[in-house]
Amino acid sequence: MKMGMIAKGSLLGLALLSTTAFAANNKGSLQVSEPVTVAGKLVAPGEYRVEWEGSGPEVDVKVLRGKNVVARTRGHLRELGQASRNNSRSVRTVPDGTKSLTELQFQGKKYALTIEDEAAQRAQSEASGSK
């Protein structure tokens, strides 16, 4: 009986530990050197924290400056062949000339976070439709 309780307690402890470790990996830093948009929100140059929730690959993404949420959107975790050597970001220029954040990679992580920017997709499809 005692052995069964110890085993259950150990399993519960391991489950909590793995959940905490996974949650700790659901964030990264973002350095913005020029204005970009995320979900239609302008993100000014500066240092930000990116957090996401979900077990993947589809996740909910928040961009924070301090404790303030600057932008929210959906994202997708994409597995990389090897760990990223440094933090990096990818942007695309949309037809109106603004730059939209599309992907983040974090140093030492074997995944990339692809950002869905509905406003940029809408602007691009509108520009394609008017040609």
The confidence band for 8, taking pLDDT boundaries of 50, 70 and 90, is low
- What is the domain partition of the chain in residue ranges? 27-129
Q: Look at residue 88 and tell me whether its pLDDT is greater than 80.
A: yes
Question: Nearest-5° angle of CA 124, CA 31, CA 94?
Answer: 10
* pLDDT digits 0-9 by tens, 35-58: 999 998 999 999 999 999 997 799
Q: Which residues pair with 47 in a beta bridge?
A: 31
Q: What is the chain's Cα-based Rg? A: 19
* Tokens standing for residue 130: 């008017």
How many angstroms separate the CA atoms of 30 and 63, rounded? 9
Q: pLDDT tens-digit profile of 92-128?
A: 998 889 999 999 999 999 999 999 866 555 655 566 6
Contact 52, 75 (CB under 8 A): yes
